[in-house]
Amino acid sequence: MQAIDTTWVLVSAALVLFMTPGLALFYGGMVRSKNVLAVMMNNFIAMGVVSVLWALVGCSLVFGHDVGHGLIGNFSLAGLGGMAHGLAGFNHSGASPMAIVTFQMMFAVVTAALISGGTTDRIKFPAFVLFIALWLFLVYIPLAHWVFSPDGWLAHRGVLDFAGGTVVEINSGFSTLAIVLVLGRRRGWPSEGMAPHSVPLSLLGVGILWFGWFGFNAGSALGMNSVAVYAFINTALAAAAGLLGWLCFERFRENFPTSLGAASGAVAGLVAITPCAGFVTPMASLAIGVLAGVICAMAVRLKFRLRYDDSLDVLGVHGVGGLIGMVLLGLFATRSVNRAGANGLFTGGGIHLLSVEVLAAVVTMGFSFTVTWLIAKAIDRTVGLRVSPEDEFRGLDLTQHAESAYSIGGMGRIGS
Amino acid sequence: MKLIVAIVKPFRLDDVKERLKGLGVHGMTVAEAQGFGRQRGHTEVYRGAEYQVDFIPKMRIELAVLDDQVADVVEAIIDAARTSSIGDGKIWIQPLEELIRIRTGERGPDAL
């Protein structure tokens, strides 16, 4: 074990955790002021609930000893124990097992938090909490085992996914689609104006996400080595290219380049590079980023035509961006960057990598959508997913949390 | 006494205030308002969703004046607030039944 590797993984864990409050700001700025605390609360509750469940059993189910066929882990690591002899499949990494699973915990947290971007303005808080607990066990953990654990069945088939294009991005995108279809559209959407109440807040959030993503991607090298360095620069370039790509789309198709578009483009680039970061060249990252920027910019406009209310475009940016990344990885992957990787279609590897990347993408889409839809339906039929129309009108901050973000109605008095 | 209400473009407020001070008008109440007459609003775009905003920010000025001050005050407001482009605003004059100073209880013209 090397101290430098453990150090880098722990720093990366902190960077990834920081992404969740960053996401909260990004999302918060884009909703109406009466619902800003609620969406930020959804992000914070993920930090609470997912961390605890991960430590108790989640980590073990993902990284514990495989029970068979690469489907799921066992309870060998329950309570974050059982790592005295290392973490099976990760002994090549110089980082300590505890550091690795701590780092991975932050991935589970942010993926759950991402879903809150679709359910804004209308989801009941207790329903959301119950949802992410069930979703963590039934959707995230199996997928994470299949892809991130070396014993997972997708990993066994040679699927490459450096930092979670499937487990985090495609998963969050299509899980969100499933829950918003069950949840229903916001009252008044899309005819009633629901403009962002604070774009500066969103821009700050994206800055934090961008910063944290260096931990997300470069940290996934699980050590301080040349792959980590590649992942770092690839992340930086994809974000920049994504920003420019989205802006070009806006400027030429809609006449105005917007700051929200620039921020969204950077996120799209970051999403797409997530599976690719440690496997492609910096120049390929530029291509991946700009394609994601342009395609995601188009994808988010689609929801108005297809009439589904994914409030903050989790599907359009994370789902679609993740798909773009997985496919492009099948084209651009090169062993010259990472000897433990593979070559893609453009680098002499033939069609094999592309085929398993597509397989992984399709499996992730189908699994996350289907199981999430079932969970959402079950919660809706029992506890109820959605607030009442009156509560929706009054706003979630007041009705779910007895708080007002900006005290527009005056301060009131303490006491009855 | 009359209550004069003037709706003006926000950036004209300072000029209006200074002109009225010059006339000896001792006080006013100002509030932020939104409105439109013939002036068109604007369009904002967020991720491709276009929001047509009809209302335009304005400042609402309210003054209590004596009947014989009305003409001069109105002329001063018009002069200070006019830019000759659409959206300059409007003035309306309402009869003011009573005026009271809270600190002293003075009523009528003494309260001005």
Q: What is the pTM of this model?
A: 0.91
The verdict on A348 touching B (C-beta cutoff 8 Å) is: no
Q: Is residue A255 very low, low, confident or very high in pLDDT (cuts 50, 70, 90)?
A: confident
In Å, how far is B49's CA from the nearest CA of chain A? 8
CATH (domain of B24): 3.30.70.120
Give yes or no for residue A318 having a pLDDT over 80. yes
Tokens of A340: 């433990």
- The range of the structural domain enclosing residue B79 comes to 2-111
Residue A21 backbone phi and psi in degrees, to 5: -60, -30
In Å, how far is B100's CA from the nearest CA of chain A? 26
Find the mean pLDDT for residues A154-175. Answer: 97
Alpha carbon distance A366, A253 (integer Å): 32
Query: Alpha carbon of B34 to those of A192, B12, B37, B60: distances in Å?
Result: 19, 15, 11, 9
Q: Is residue A192 very low, low, confident or very high in pLDDT (cuts 50, 70, 90)?
A: confident
Inter-chain residue contact A300 with B51, CB threshold 8 Å: no
Which range is least confidently modeled, A247-261, A272-286, A336-350, A398-412?
A398-412
Reading phi first (left if > 0) and then psi (alpha if -120 to 50, else beta), residue A196 is in beta
| Residue whose pair of structure tokens reads 């205030």 in the numeric block | B17
Find the closest chain A residue to B51 by CA distance: A193
The verdict on B38 touching A (C-beta cutoff 8 Å) is: no
Alpha carbon distance A254, A327 (integer Å): 28
- pLDDT of A408 reads 64
Tokens of A13: 């864990």
Alpha carbon distance A8, B87 (integer Å): 60
CB interface of A with B, residues 5-24, below 8 Å: none
CA B68 to centroid of chain Cα atoms: 19
∠ CA B14-B15-B16, rounded to 5°: 90
Do residues B88 and B32 touch, judged by C-beta distance below 8 A? Answer: no
Residues 6+ apart with CB under 8 A from A340: A227
Find the mean pLDDT for residues A325-344. Answer: 97
| Residue whose pair of structure tokens reads 């800055």 in the numeric block | A207
What are the tens digits of pLDDT across the range B9-61?
Answer: 999 999 999 999 999 897 899 999 999 988 888 888 998 888 888 999 999 99
A264: chain B residues, CB-CB within 8 Å = 47
Alpha carbon distance B84, B65 (integer Å): 26
What are the tens digits of pLDDT across the range A49-91?
Answer: 999 999 999 999 999 999 999 999 999 999 999 999 889 889 8
Share of chain A above pLDDT 90, in %: 94
Tokens of A58: 């989640």
Report domain extents, chain A: 3-401
Chain B interface disruption, residue of A258, A295, A320, most B CBs within 10 A: A258
Whether this model's ipTM surpasses 0.85 comes out as no
Do residues A103 and A12 touch, judged by C-beta distance below 8 A? Answer: yes
- Residue B44 has its nearest CB partner, among A195, A261, A297, at A195
Tokens of A62: 């993902």
Share of chain B above pLDDT 70, in %: 100
Do residues A308 and A252 touch, judged by C-beta distance below 8 A? Answer: no
- pLDDT of A409 reads 62
Alpha carbon distance A311, A239 (integer Å): 23
What do you get for the CA distance between the two ends of chain B, in Å? 10
Alpha carbon distance B95, B107 (integer Å): 16
The DSSP H or E segment spanning A369 is: helix A352-382
The verdict on B31 touching A (C-beta cutoff 8 Å) is: no
Give me chain A's average pLDDT, please.
Answer: 96
Report which DSSP code applies to A161: -
Find the closest chain A residue to B48 by CA distance: A301
The verdict on A301 touching B (C-beta cutoff 8 Å) is: yes
A304: chain B residues, CB-CB within 8 Å = 48-49
Find the mean pLDDT for residues A341-368. Answer: 97
Find the mean pLDDT for residues B85-97. Answer: 95
Do residues A135 and A108 touch, judged by C-beta distance below 8 A? Answer: no
Give yes or no for residue A413 having a pLDDT over 80. no
Q: Could you tell me which residues are beta bridge partners of residue B90?
A: B7
Chain A interface disruption, residue of B44, B46, B53, most A CBs within 10 A: B46
Give yes or no for residue A414 having a pLDDT over 80. no
Alpha carbon distance B77, B36 (integer Å): 19
- Residue A301 has its nearest CB partner, among B44, B48, B51, at B48
- pLDDT of B50 reads 87
The verdict on A195 touching B (C-beta cutoff 8 Å) is: yes
Alpha carbon distance A219, A237 (integer Å): 17
Inter-chain residue contact B45 with A258, CB threshold 8 Å: yes
| Residue whose pair of structure tokens reads 């090397």 in the numeric block | A2
Find the closest chain B residue to A263 by CA distance: B47
- Residue B45 has its nearest CB partner, among A254, A304, A313, at A254
The verdict on A304 touching B (C-beta cutoff 8 Å) is: yes
The DSSP H or E segment spanning A78 is: none
B45: chain A residues, CB-CB within 8 Å = 254, 256, 258
Do residues B67 and B29 touch, judged by C-beta distance below 8 A? Answer: no
Inter-chain residue contact B47 with A301, CB threshold 8 Å: yes
Inter-chain residue contact A301 with B46, CB threshold 8 Å: no
Q: Could you tell me how many CB contacts below 8 A there are between chain A and chain B? A: 28
Question: DSSP for A294-357?
Answer: HHHHHHHHHHHHHT---TT-IIIIIIHHHHHHHHHHHHH--TTT-TTS---GGGT-TTHHHHHH
CA A365 to centroid of chain Cα atoms: 14
- Residue among A5, A416, A15 nearest A215 (CA): A15
- Residue B51 has its nearest CB partner, among A195, A258, A261, at A195
Residue type, B43: T
Do residues A96 and A7 touch, judged by C-beta distance below 8 A? Answer: no
Inter-chain residue contact B48 with A254, CB threshold 8 Å: yes
What SS3 state is found at B87?
A: coil
Find the closest chain A residue to B53 by CA distance: A193
Inter-chain residue contact A261 with B47, CB threshold 8 Å: yes
Tokens of B74: 């109105």
- The architecture (CATH level 2) of A3-401 comes to Orthogonal Bundle (1.10)
Residue type, A215: G
What do you get for the CA distance between the two ends of chain A, in Å? 60
Give me chain B's average pLDDT, please.
Answer: 94
Instruction: Give the count of domains, chain B.
Output: 1
Tokens of A222: 């699980």
The DSSP H or E segment spanning A13 is: helix A3-30
